Amino acid sequence: MAQGGDTMLKDRLLEQLKVIELERGAIRKVVPYLREQGYDHVLLVADDHTYAAAGEQLSGLLAVEVVETRVCLIQPDAQGDVVADEIALVQLLLEIRPEETDALIAVGSGTIHDIVRFAAHKTGKPFVSVPTAPSVDGFTSAGAPLIIRGVKKTVPAVPPVAIFADLDVLTAAPQRLVAAGFGDMLGKYTSLFDWKFSHLTAGEPYDEQAAAITERALLNCVTHADAIGARSEEGIRALMTALIESGIAMLLFGQSHPASGAEHHLSHYWEMEYLRLGRRALLHGAKVGVACAEIARAYHAAGEGTFPGAAPAALREHGEQVRAWLRDLPGEAELRGLLRKAGGPATLAELGVGEELFARSLREAHLVRDRRTLLRALNEAEQA
Ligand SMILES: [Zn+2]
């Protein structure tokens, strides 16, 4: 992903995302858009589920307007999960035929988008986003979180040139995917805390505007928690708007700091462990939501001096400021209550993550990224 200081690259990435449609029937605007851009040969990328959710409908619309369309259905792994790994990436790269393809269309949730954004970047093709569920904030992302040899890493890629988020499609998405999107947003409570913490204690770059956009998106989601749980049009619109805005804040900043802190590091750690063990994957946002409640519990304990081990130097030096921020961070009970309202798992047990894995991840998850989170500071003080 672009670096915070690389203004030209950031501007170019932001510049790429020109069209954002979020309304009922938005999918019917895809074909006129392709026509206008002169994209006559497209490759529609989906999986079995997302093809049924919107790919089939879009294929029909494309056929009527004689846009030449080929379809690539990404195959699931041995556990039945579609994963953005080497195998899925090569499947798509082999099917692109660069000289006969004007654009790629990602029809799906976060994983399909990550596979497509990487392939689009490598082949220099524009890609159009058609989300099928409000499940993650990564639709508009420039970086692709990929699993390479079992390790999750974010590699540079491209954002979509246009996003067509159809509320008729999104409100029909399964509740667990909707709740996952809410969990990914709720995680901004701890990611925004960690971002301020890393800026104060380690001089990591900070951007008021990106932080404000992310915070507003988060609070708007929290206000609509009941409507999101009920999957009303109003609730789904609020959630999808927040997910898109969070993605744009990352594009604006050029890195994932606004939207990803220790709660995401826990989620990545669990994801890699599940892959290692050959277990069915858990939804990204479901993990992030529960991880956010667990991190909030650990951070409040640290602020009260009850986290096991020595207090980190950063907390001794900047204790007053950090404790002031902690007062704005909801407690675990409030966070779990919000997760329940949205209809998702609220505890490790409900999520299906065991105590041993959780305890290990709390000690080691900061190692998956080089970000200066409070979790890292707590663990490094422990080892010192
Ligand atoms: Zn996320």
* Strands 19-23 and 162-166, bridge-based pairing: parallel
Q: What is the mean pLDDT of residues 352-367?
A: 95
* Full DSSP string of 285-352: HHHHHHHHHHHHHHHHHHHTT-SSSPPPHHHHHSHHHHHHHHHHSPPHHHHHHHHHHTTS--SHHHHT
Helices (H) and strands (E) in the chain, counts: 20, 8
Q: What share of the chain is helix, strand, coil (3-state, %, to 5)?
A: 60, 10, 30
Q: Measured in angstroms, how far is the CA atom of residue 359 from the centroid of ligand 1? A: 21
Tell me, in angstroms, the distance from the centre of ligand 1 to residue 180's CA.
9
Can you read off the two tokens belonging to residue 268? 């990545």
- Local confidence band at 5 (pLDDT 50, 70, 90 cut-offs): very low
Q: Burial, 29: exposed, middle or buried (Cβ in 10 Å; 0-12, 13-18, 19+)? A: middle
Ion ligand 1 nearby residues (CB, 5 A): 184
Query: Can you tell me the distance from the alpha carbon of 194 to that of 288, in angstroms, rounded to the nearest whole number?
Result: 14
CA of 284 to the centre of ligand 1 (A): 7
Which of the residue ranges 14-23, 43-52, 252-261 has the most confident prediction, judged by mean pLDDT?
Answer: 43-52
pLDDT at 7 over 80: no
Distance (Å) from CA 59 to ligand 1 centroid: 29
> For residues 380 and 363, is the Cβ–Cβ distance under 8 A?
no
Token pair recorded at residue 372: 């200066």
- 159-218 pLDDT, tens digit per residue, is 999 999 999 999 999 999 999 999 999 999 999 999 999 999 999 999 999 999 999 999
Residue 1 has pLDDT above 50, yes or no: no
Work out the widest C-alpha separation in the chain, in whole angstroms: 67
Rounded to the nearest angstrom, the distance between the alpha carbon of 265 and the centre of ligand 1 is: 10
Distance 297 CA to ligand 1 centre (A): 19
Q: Which residues are bridge partners to 20 per DSSP? A: 163
Tens of pLDDT, residue by residue over 251-274, are 999 889 999 999 999 999 999 999
CA of 264 to the centre of ligand 1 (A): 6
